[in-house]
Structures are given as structure tokens and as C-alpha cells.
Structure 1
Amino acid sequence: MRQQVRTAPAALPAAVRAPLAMTAALATAVLVALGILHFHDAGLTGIDAAVLPSIDGVQPPWRYVALVFDFGGEPVGSTILVALIAVVCFLVHRIRAAALTVLGVVVTVAVTTVLKPLVGRTIHGEFLSYPSGHTAMATALALVIGLVLADRLAFDRAAAVVLVLGLALVAAVAMGWAEVALGAHYPTDAAGGFCAALAAVPATGWLVDRVAERL
């Protein structure tokens, strides 16, 4: 049993460990910078003022698409997605990845939950908006999927990094678009959610690997 634990595939494959650590550091800096920039902000400024009018208030049928994405970030939808991905990871013998699926999302959402009242940015007068928890959750799940695929396909470092970050970016753009289109967030809220996941998931993956190796 101990030998199986030691040889279990890593949650954070060695090929992407250093690049994702650097990405996490950069994402943390951007997350903090955006939080300072929009500290107790309640209006459109800068990038948001330029981007939001072209996205906000999307009409059917695209509104229905946005609502589907949004459901994936709601408690019921996110629970289904997390459980599904964790089960798939378990079935393909990626036990640490299954743990990262759950813990990565929990840590990422915890980061966004703590930051919202600290930053105090609001939308529609009373709703805390920075950073976007929906976007962070979608990015976190995409990162886990990318890590598993990169490891199973035995990609080299460059290809693995492109795959992992590419999937994370696609997920963040899709969910971020939905949240902005539905009027729930500003574009920079989505950017903050993306950065929160990029910072939290690699750190959580590293911790999962360390704990598993010690066991």
C-alpha cells in the first residue's frame, strides 16, 4: 500500500511545476494589483468601461448559453462538475488529481470569498463582485483537467504548459463572458477570478503531493 502511494501520479506533474509556480506568482501579483485598483469601487473605469458595453445585456439565444455556463458555477452545478471530474480522475487512477479537484476548487473559492469583502467592490449598488467566484471555479476545474491530460499524454514541458494554461484561459473566458453578459460582474472581476485560480490550484497541488509523499 505504501509503495502505491509513493508511485501514484502527481497532482502537479514535474514537467509543469516550475512554470506554474512562476505563473502563480504573476497571477497573485495581478490579483492583488486589481484588488487595490478597484478597492471599494462601485462604477465603470478603465478596461471595464471600454469592454462591458459590448458584452452586457446579451439577448437570446446567447443569453441561454450564458445561463448554462452560469449554472456550472452555482452551488448545485459546481457540485455536479466537481464530483464528476473527481470520479473520472479516480477511475483513471489519478487519486491525487481527484483530491486536487475537490481541494483546488475549495481553496480557490475560499480565496475569492475572503477577498470580496476585503476589496469591497460592488456592482448594482450592493453586490460584492471582485473577484468572480464563478470564473475562478471554472478556471480551477480546467487546470485540473489540463494537468491530468498533460500527464497521461506524456507531453513535454512546453506542450504541457500550453495545454494546461490554454484550457484554463478558455474556461475563464467562457465563464467570464457569461458573468459579464448576465450583469453579475465587471470584466476585471473575471480577470481576478482567473488569477485567483492560477494562484491557488498549483499551490494546492504541490501541497497534495507533499502530503501524499509523507504518508
Structure 2
Amino acid sequence: MERLAGADRPTTTGRPAPAALPPSLRGRLGPIAALAVVVVVALGVLYAGHSEPGRVDRWIIRPTADSVGPPWRHVALALDFLGEPSGAAPLVVAIVAVCLLLRRPRAAVLVVAGAALAVGTTTLLKSLVGRTIHGGHLSYPSGHTAFATAIALVVALLAAGRLGLGRTAGTSLVLAAALVAGAAMGWAQVALGAHYPTDVLGGWCTALAVIPATAWLVDRIADRMADAGRRAPR
């Protein structure tokens, strides 16, 4: 039987190349990513051009004003800082360093590419959807939430692969990490009045769609480069 792309394959040194997307999780994360795409598109169509909170947003909270005071406001601001360039860059560098120390180069590439693509996708969608908050600030989907969720997903994929978790345990770990990170950053964004709750959901689903696809692509490219290296004349 042909081996799935991205599985641990021998490198030119004879050592296996750990996959960015563990083979045991592909069958579960693929449909989840597809469902996430549907949610992102559906919410984008539903709220395109809107400048007011929807019914679901109003039911959860009044999102156009700060809703927390000290000390929780300080927590929200700290979480928000992690999604800003000055906070996100050191975080990404630190995680890349850990991946390299663990000899997981594909995971290191995924950290950078996944975070960049998740945030880039939300930026593009904001322009396409045109939903605004506070009189003109594009809001759907939340880039901060997408970034936090993307980072959590990459770390969870790294842990699942390193621990050799099976489909159920690995999928549970990945989804739990995404839920905790997305909920934390999403709470901060809504609490600070930066986003509507449905913006947060859109950002969370954007990361769920982007990261598995990016991990698969990283594995495909790395596998082809490894194959080409083995076939090259010496």
C-alpha cells in the first residue's frame, strides 16, 4: 500500500523526518477543516456589510463597549498584546526555537507559515466581507483569535506527534488546545470591544481550516524535496 504523504520517511541521513501533520490525525482533521470553511463562509455571507451586532452577538454580550474592569481588564489587555506584532513575533520565535531544539524542522516551518497564513486569510476576508465595528473598523473574522488558535494548533500537533498519540487522543488534544486558546483570546477581544462574538467564531474557524491544510502542504513539499535529494547523483 502506498504510504501517505507526510508520514515519517527516511531522510538522506537515514533518520525519519517527523511530519508536521501526524498521519494518525489526517482522517479526523480533514473533515473538521472542511466544516470550519463552511462556517467561515456562512458567517461571512450572513454578516457582509453589517455594522451592528447580530442577534447572536446581542444574546451573548453587548460587544460595542468595554465590558470588564480591573483586574480582568489587565488580563484581557495582556492576551490582546500577544496578538499584536510586538507580542506575536517573540512568541513565534520562541516556539520556532523549541521546535528546532526538538529536531522538528517541519513544525518550525508550520509555526511561521501557519500563523502568517491564518492572519493573512483573516485580513483578506475582512476586506471581502466588509463587516465593521466602532464606526468603520473591519471586524470579521478576528485576526487575533485566528493567530492564538493557530499557534495552539501547531503546538498541539507537535505534542501529538512527539507523544505518538492515536486518532482519538490526538484529535482530542488538538481540539482542546484550539478551544482553550481561541476562547481565551476571543473573550479578550469581545471584552475589550474590539470584535463581535461571531467575529471570534469566524477567526477560530479560520485557524481550524488553515492550519491542517498548511501542515499537509509543508509535509508534501518536504517529502518531495527529500525524494529529490535521494535521487540526485552524487
- Give the TM interval when normalised to the shorter protein: over 0.9
Alpha-carbon offset, residue 5 of structure 1:
8.5
CA contact (8 A) 1:5 1:212 kept: no
Aligned alpha-carbon RMSD (Å): 1.5
> How far, CA to CA, are the matches of 1:52 and 1:3 in structure 2?
56
**Alpha-carbon distance change, 96 to 59 in structure 1, aligned in 2, over 3 angstroms:** same
Alpha-carbon offset, residue 62 of structure 1:
0.1
The one-character-per-residue Cα deviations of 1:163-201 (angstroms, maximum 9, x if unpaired) are 001100100000000000001000000000001001111
Give the structure 2 partner of residue 182 of structure 1. 192
Give the structure 2 partner of residue 152 of structure 1. 162
Residue 73 of structure 2 is aligned to residue 63 of structure 1: yes
Q: How does 1:45-194 map to 2 (within 5 A)?
A: 45-53=54-62, 56-194=66-204
Give the structure 1 partner of residue 41 of structure 2. 32
Aligned residues: 215
**Alpha-carbon distance change, 150 to 2 in structure 1, aligned in 2, over 3 angstroms:** closer
Q: Percent identity?
A: 56
CA contact (8 A) 1:6 1:213 kept: no
The amino acid across from 2:45 in the alignment is I
The one-character-per-residue Cα deviations of 1:126-184 (angstroms, maximum 9, x if unpaired) are 10000000000000000001001111111111000000011001000000000000010
Q: Please, which runs of 5 or more residues in structure 2 have no aligned partner?
A: 1-9, 226-234
- Normalised by the length of structure 1, the TM-score is 0.97
Consecutive aligned runs of 4 or more in structure 1 exceeding 3 Å deviation: none
CA contact (8 A) 2:11 2:17 kept: no
Give the structure 1 partner of residue 16 of structure 2. 7
Alpha-carbon offset, residue 4 of structure 1:
4.4
